[in-house]
Chains A and B, each alone.
Chain A
Amino acid sequence: MSNLAQLGSDIVKLWNNYASVYLTGMWKTVSLAVICTLVGCLIGFLCGVLQTIPVAKKDNPLKKGLLGVLRGIIRAYVEVFRGTPMILQAVFVYYGLPYFTNNAVQWKSVWLAAFVVVAVNTGAYMAETVRGGILSVDPGQTEGAKAIGMTHWQTMTSVILPQALRSILPQIGNNFIINLKDTSVMFIIGYTDFFATHKAVVGATFLYFPSATIEMAGYLFMTLVSSILLRWWEKRMDGDASYDLATTDTLAHTSGMVRFPKSSGDAADERGR
């Protein structure tokens, strides 16, 4: 018990002295994870849409060639960034840019380098997720959209992607939570996120285990809040289970061959959808 009491008092001591440092670290972790997940999703959606552009036999060879090259590039991008550890990618990007340009080009800030690495990495995972999401939407939806004259781009943005987004939302949440934790490897290039604050605090106080406990609790807090928010977002996207009959428009009742549901509940209740 004395161990626990000691741990408790150390944690309180750390928190009293370093709360703002920890909170700054948390903020840097969350902000990087949020923005990288968003940009990663954009990259993923772009790759997904480009990869699913239909090619017809009759299309001109230039278009077919360009699409082929584009698909090759996306494939290579996905394989390279999924197939190597993010910590190494950070090293390559951060130190590689000055190395290969003989110091002519340097990163303006560590934040920018960390952002690029995490976003591009997330994009590689999202590219495949989005492609899967697009393929999972009923082909009839595409035909319906084409039949009213929509182009591939219009079909994607109006009909397919909103439905794909709903089905891959849990996966986006997954990626976000992974990003919350994995941004910690950016300490390798000197990005001071939540995990890096731990190293700084321990360096000054030697209270290794109490600080680690604060870190554990902090990360868990961030991921739990994210989970709850993501669930809420999913629910919101599904919309109401019921709908209102447009009864304010009295003319509607007298027109056509409408049969009204006899009960006061809506028609969907009876069918139990």
Chain B
Amino acid sequence: MSEQILSINHLSKSFGKNVVLKDIDFSVSRGDVTSIIGASGSGKSTLLRCINLLETPTAGQILFHEEDITRRGYNVPAYRAKVGMVFQNFNLFNNMTVLDNCMVGLIRVMHKDRETAEQTARFYLDKVGMLPYIHAKPRQISGGQKQRVAIARALAMEPEVLLFDEPTSALDPQMVGEVLDVMKTLVKEGLTMLVVTHEMAFARDVSSRTVFMKDGVIWEDGAPEQIFGTPERPETKEFLSRFFDR
């Protein structure tokens, strides 16, 4: 068993009286490519946002290399720099060019000099095939291109884990393909990834582990062959039957 990066114990999250996550236990090890699947409103995105502390958990622990990130006084920005996030709506900085989007974190957060930052940014923009567009502003490129830049921006920080929050849900089918291609490359390179997705083919064929969530609870957690082939829970079967005729 490889080194455990993240370990989530008894995590709960509620917004007012609305309970979104119930007693989640879950962990991520180096090299894992985990897909989290489930219907809209099942709490998948909230789980991801809790891991990055964009939402504050109501109860429970999140351990990053055995250290509790929810405790008071924990250096949250430094933690977030090591855990990348790719959003459904890209969230590229509108006031910057593609290149600056990928450089700003290196310069301001990692305190790299401009030259090193530009080299790193160019390297990752090249990897996602966006190098020719470095002078464009986000409003000038397409959705798929934006998401590839967003992935490059996250990669440029050289994170230990990369979280994807429905990275293809705001894209048309052709653009979905270009973003998934980039993600598949990253899987081959051994990046640790946690992907909330509605792309069942990605979850089944690319990820090394699949987690099924419903009503804020993890119902099944295992190898994709098992979840998609011989799901144990009737809930999982019912959910998957909407995607695959069986």
- The chain B residue sitting closest to A266, CB to CB, is B140
**Among A146, A163, A243, A257, contact of B140 (Cβ-Cβ < 8 Å):** A243
Say yes or no for B24: interface residue by CB 8 A criterion. Answer: no
A60 touching B132 by the CB < 8 A rule?
no
B109 touching A141 by the CB < 8 A rule?
no
**Among B77, B90, B97, B132, contact of A151 (Cβ-Cβ < 8 Å):** B77
A257 touching B72 by the CB < 8 A rule?
no
B95 touching A246 by the CB < 8 A rule?
no
**Interface size of A in residues (CB-CB distance below 8 Å):** 44
Say yes or no for A271: interface residue by CB 8 A criterion. Answer: yes
Q: Which residues of B contact A234 (CB under 8 A)?
A: none
Say yes or no for B237: interface residue by CB 8 A criterion. Answer: no
Say yes or no for A258: interface residue by CB 8 A criterion. Answer: yes
How far is the CB of A199 from the nearest CB of chain B, in Å? 46
Q: Which of B30-38, B81-89, B190-198, B228-236 contacts A (4 or more CB under 8 A)?
A: B81-89
In residues 127-142 of chain A, which contact B (Cβ within 8 Å)?
138, 140-141
- The chain B residue sitting closest to A271, CB to CB, is B142
How far is the CB of B180 from the nearest CB of chain A, in Å? 11
Q: Which of B8-16, B122-130, B217-225, B238-246 contacts A (4 or more CB under 8 A)?
A: B122-130
A252 touching B93 by the CB < 8 A rule?
no
Give chain A's interface residues, CB within 8 Å of chain B.
Answer: 56-60, 138, 140-141, 143-151, 154, 158-159, 162-163, 166, 239, 242-247, 249, 251-253, 255-258, 260, 266-268, 271, 273
Give chain B's interface residues, CB within 8 Å of chain A.
Answer: 52, 54, 56, 70, 72-73, 77-82, 84-85, 87, 89-95, 97, 104-105, 108-109, 126-137, 139-142, 150, 153-154, 157, 178, 181-182
Write 12 A-B pairs (CB below 8 A) sorted by A numbering.
A57-B56, A148-B109, A149-B105, A149-B157, A150-B105, A158-B108, A166-B95, A243-B140, A245-B132, A256-B127, A257-B181, A268-B136
